[in-house]
Amino acid sequence: MRWLHTSDWHLGRGFHGTSLRDAQQEMLETVCAAVVEEGVDVLLVSGDVHDRALPPEWAVTMLEDCLKRLVETGVQVIITSGNHDSARRLGFGSALMRRSGVHLRTALEDAWTPVMLPEPDGSALQLVYGIPYLEPQLIGPRLGLARATHTAVMRAVTDRIRADVAARAEQVAAGSVDGVVPEAPVRTVVMAHLFAARGVGSDSERIIGADVPTGESAIHDEETAGGLAVVPLEVFDGFDQVALGHLHGRQRLSETVRYSGSPLRLSFSETDQAKGAWLWDSATPEVEPRPLDWSIGRPLARLEGTIDEILDEDTVAAHAESFVQITLTDEIRPERAHQRVQQAYPHLATFTHRPPQRPEEPPTYSAAVEAARTEPEVVGAFLAHVRGRGASEEERGLIDEALAAVRAETGGVR
For residues 109 and 254, membership in a common domain is answered with: yes
For residues 285 and 141, membership in a common domain is answered with: yes
For residues 365 and 289, membership in a common domain is answered with: no
pLDDT of residue 413: 47
CATH number for the domain that contains residue 233: 3.60.21.10
Residue 371 belongs to what domain range?
Answer: 300-410
pLDDT of residue 37: 97
- Residuewise pLDDT in 10s, the chain (414 residues): 999 999 999 999 999 999 999 999 999 999 999 999 999 999 999 999 999 999 999 999 999 999 999 999 999 999 999 999 999 999 999 999 999 999 999 999 999 999 999 999 999 999 999 999 999 999 999 999 988 899 999 999 999 999 999 999 999 999 999 999 998 999 999 999 999 999 888 887 766 666 666 777 777 766 566 666 899 999 999 999 999 999 999 999 999 999 999 999 999 999 999 899 999 999 888 899 999 999 999 999 999 999 999 999 999 999 999 999 999 999 999 999 999 999 999 999 999 999 987 655 555 777 777 777 778 888 888 888 777 778 888 888 888 778 777 766 765 545
pLDDT of residue 258: 98
Asked which of 293, 326, 360 is the last residue of a domain, the reply is: 293
pLDDT of residue 386: 78
For residues 270 and 338, membership in a common domain is answered with: no
Asked which of 244, 276, 293 is the last residue of a domain, the reply is: 293
For residues 144 and 168, membership in a common domain is answered with: yes
Asked which of 225, 258, 293 is the last residue of a domain, the reply is: 293
For residues 288 and 329, membership in a common domain is answered with: no
pLDDT of residue 211: 65
Listed in sequence order, the residues at least 6 apart from 406 whose beta carbon sits closer than 8 Å to its beta carbon are: none
pLDDT of residue 223: 57
pLDDT of residue 308: 96
Q: How far apart are CA 103 and CA 91, in angstroms?
A: 9
For residues 235 and 309, membership in a common domain is answered with: no
For residues 318 and 339, membership in a common domain is answered with: yes
For residues 352 and 254, membership in a common domain is answered with: no
For residues 211 and 68, membership in a common domain is answered with: yes
Q: How far apart are CA 235 and CA 158, in angstroms?
A: 7
Count of the separate structural domains present in the chain: 2
For residues 226 and 373, membership in a common domain is answered with: no
